[in-house]
Structure 1
Amino acid sequence: MRRVLLLALIALAAAPAALPARAAQVTQLIAEKAAADTGGAMPPAGRYDVTLTPGDVAEATLVSAFVIDRSTGQFAANVVTGAGETWRVTGLATLTVPVPVPVRRILPDELLTKADFTMVALPYRQLGSFAVTSLDRLQGMQVRRVLAAGRPVMVQSVTPPIVIGKGDKVSLEYRKGNMQLSAPGRAITSAEADQEVRVINLVSNRTVTGIARAAGIVEVSK
């Protein structure tokens, strides 16, 4: 008998104490449930913005049942309040992601800086696969097509900056071991940094191919 009592006391001490459930906003609970159901398909920095049908209960302790139409974001759920009551709630859960959008109209050939953009939460399903969602991917890029204020930037609308333009005067840098020579040239193609560019050597009048290293500098290996 004494041993049974001792075991019961040990089991009671090891059992976790029951904690009262804390109420939370239903919109928060639904957002967490929708994100959990999305799982690995959840985009980085994505979140659900939830709007409840007017008149639905605002606070609850848990979601006991949940179903959502992924194509529209419409959902229905059962939530349990702190008093133990189960309420049916409905509404709209929209998956959004923060997207950089221009703060002004930006013309072709301009170089982009972070100051040109602001971050706006937009519905993920409306963006398409070509929208740029990272501000870091736009920093220092050159505009190819006009960027409209307040609209997402498409990947095909920007390009790494051109450091050598067609017709530019350049310095051809020849390196071989410790020897370095230079000669004037004129570019007959354009190139981004570290891309191949064709240049006329103005001394020999021959066309050579080199690597655009910086504005006005072309490295030639032969």
Structure 2
Amino acid sequence: MSRLVLATLLSLCLAPLAPRAEATQVTTLIAEKAAANADGAMPANASYDVTLQTTSPTQAELVSAFWMDPATGQFAANVVTSDGETRRVYGMAVLTVPVPIPTHRLMPDTILNKADFRVVPLPYQRLSRFTITDIKQLAGMQVRQVLSADRPVLTQQVSPPLVVDRGARVSISYNHGRLTLTAPGRAITGAEAGQTVRVVNLASNRTVTGIARPGGIVEVTQ
């Protein structure tokens, strides 16, 4: 054997082997495949909750083939295990979204805060387009309809707090150029800040319409 051939064989023997892919939880691999197949259609904060058949391997190096029914979440996949064996796995991949739900029953007129909620993952396809999924949109809001415990909140069930309550005493501020006059009044309707509200001027017994401001003030411009 020539020295060149011997050196070549020796270099091949001493060359480091290509690193194998690390074994990963099959549920993680399937969730990544499902998200990739969604092609950007899934909400930014959504993820896939994957359930495997009990006979499926729990770890694998990669997914070599993947099929999924987007409507039901049922999938079939071929995964390659660490010993090089290809195994077929089946299960469900459900797209879920973290949703704030009340921890207790909340009555109308309650001002909400984050402590009133806990965040749980819920199936995206079961949510209404009116479902509030960001807890930041709930803090400081006022309840309009009873909120049941452990049920998602809909946009029509809450609103910004009223600054003028129906039947409440208000201060009517008349603005005409540089001239400002005030008069006592009583609200006929309720209103949020910046909304129009009808009030009775208690000094003249006339009904006027103005803009509700914080502090029970109604601005009327003439």
TM over 0.5: yes
Aligned letter for 2:68? I
Aligned letter for 2:196? E
What is the rounded CA distance, in whole Å, between the counterparts of 2:29 and 2:165 in structure 1? 55
Comparing 35-44 and 92-101, the one that deviates more:
35-44
* Match of residue 187 from structure 2: 187
* Match of residue 107 from structure 2: 107
Cα distance, 1:181 vs structure 2: 2.4
The residue correspondences of 1:1-222 to structure 2 (distance < 5 A) are 18-222=18-222
Cα distance, 1:175 vs structure 2: 3.3
Unpaired stretches in structure 2, ≥5 consecutive residues? 1-16
Cα RMSD (Å) of the superposition? 1.7
Aligned letter for 2:29? L
Cα distance, 1:30 vs structure 2: 0.2
Comparing 116-125 and 198-207, the one that deviates more:
198-207
What is the rounded CA distance, in whole Å, between the counterparts of 2:134 and 2:148 in structure 1? 17
Cα distance, 1:53 vs structure 2: 0.6
Cα distance, 1:83 vs structure 2: 2.6
| 1:110 partner SS | coil
Q: How many residues align?
A: 206
Cα distance, 1:183 vs structure 2: 1.4
What is the rounded CA distance, in whole Å, between the counterparts of 2:205 and 2:146 in structure 1? 38
Q: Over residues 71-99 of structure 1, what are the superposed CA-to-partner deviations in whole Å (9 max), with x where a residue is unaligned?
A: 22111001112332211111111111110
What is the rounded CA distance, in whole Å, between the counterparts of 2:195 and 2:65 in structure 1? 56
Q: Over residues 44-72 of structure 1, what are the superposed CA-to-partner deviations in whole Å (9 max), with x where a residue is unaligned?
A: 21111111111211111111111111222
Aligned letter for 2:130? F
Comparing 79-88 and 192-201, the one that deviates more:
79-88
Cα distance, 1:205 vs structure 2: 2.6
| 1:122 partner SS | strand
Q: Calculate the TM-score normalised by the size of structure 1.
A: 0.87
Cα distance, 1:166 vs structure 2: 1.9
| 1:39 partner SS | coil
What is the rounded CA distance, in whole Å, between the counterparts of 2:53 and 2:206 in structure 1? 74
Aligned letter for 1:122? L
Unpaired stretches in structure 1, ≥5 consecutive residues? 1-16
